[in-house]
């Protein structure tokens, strides 16, 4: 029997969805730049090296109308953000200090 191990303490999915039909999408709301900033900041803090945090791109998470969107597991916390300061707050409060950033929860 194999042991079921969790590979990452927290797994972040950032919606990168691009819609071609004119509906709102996270890609049009700066998701690519946000994803690059998120990955770089997690790496700079050493969180990815320790296996504590994994950042992945996601296709449509189904909430583009309130996006852009980040979801963090295993907590299942859904966030939106406006700028890099919001992303930094999510990293500092949620990932580092274990506190939900209520003002950004969707």
pLDDT in tens, 15-46: 999 988 888 899 999 999 999 999 999 999 99
Q: Residue 85 and residue 87: Cα distance in Å, rounded? A: 5
Sequence-separated contacts (24+) of 42-49 with Cβ below 8 Å: 42/12, 42/91, 42/95, 45/91, 45/96, 47/95, 47/96
Token duo for residue 52: 């504590």
pLDDT category, 4, cuts 50, 70, 90? Answer: very low
Q: What domains lie within the chain, and their CATH numbers?
A: 12-104 (3.40.30.10)
pLDDT surpassing 90 at residue 2:
no
Note the pLDDT of residue 76: 96
Note the pLDDT of residue 6: 55
Q: Which residues contact 75 (CB under 8 A, 6 or more apart)?
A: 10, 100
Residue 46 phi, psi (nearest 5): 80, 10
Is residue 50 within 8 A of residue 67, CB to CB? The reply is no
* Backbone torsion region of residue 59, taken as left when φ is above 0, otherwise alpha when ψ lies between -120 and 50, otherwise beta: beta
Note the pLDDT of residue 5: 55
pLDDT in tens, 60-93: 998 988 889 999 999 999 999 999 999 999 999 9
- Of the ranges 9-13, 48-52, 102-106, which one carries the lowest mean pLDDT score? 48-52
For the CA atoms of 10, 46, 13, 18, the dihedral, rounded to the nearest 10 degrees, stands at 180
């Amino acid at each position: 029997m194999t042991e079921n191990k969790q590979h990452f303490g927290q797994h972040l999915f950032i919606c990168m969805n691009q819609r071609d039909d004119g509906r709102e999408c996270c890609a049009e709301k700066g998701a690519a730049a946000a994803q690059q900033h998120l990955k770089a900041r997690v790496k700079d803090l050493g969180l990815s090296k320790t296996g504590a945090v994994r950042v992945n791109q996601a296709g449509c998470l189904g909430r583009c109308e309130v996006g852009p969107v980040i979801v963090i597991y295993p907590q299942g916390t859904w966030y939106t953000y406006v700028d890099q300061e919001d992303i930094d707050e999510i990293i500092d409060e949620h990932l580092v200090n274990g506190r939900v950033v209520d003002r950004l929860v969707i």
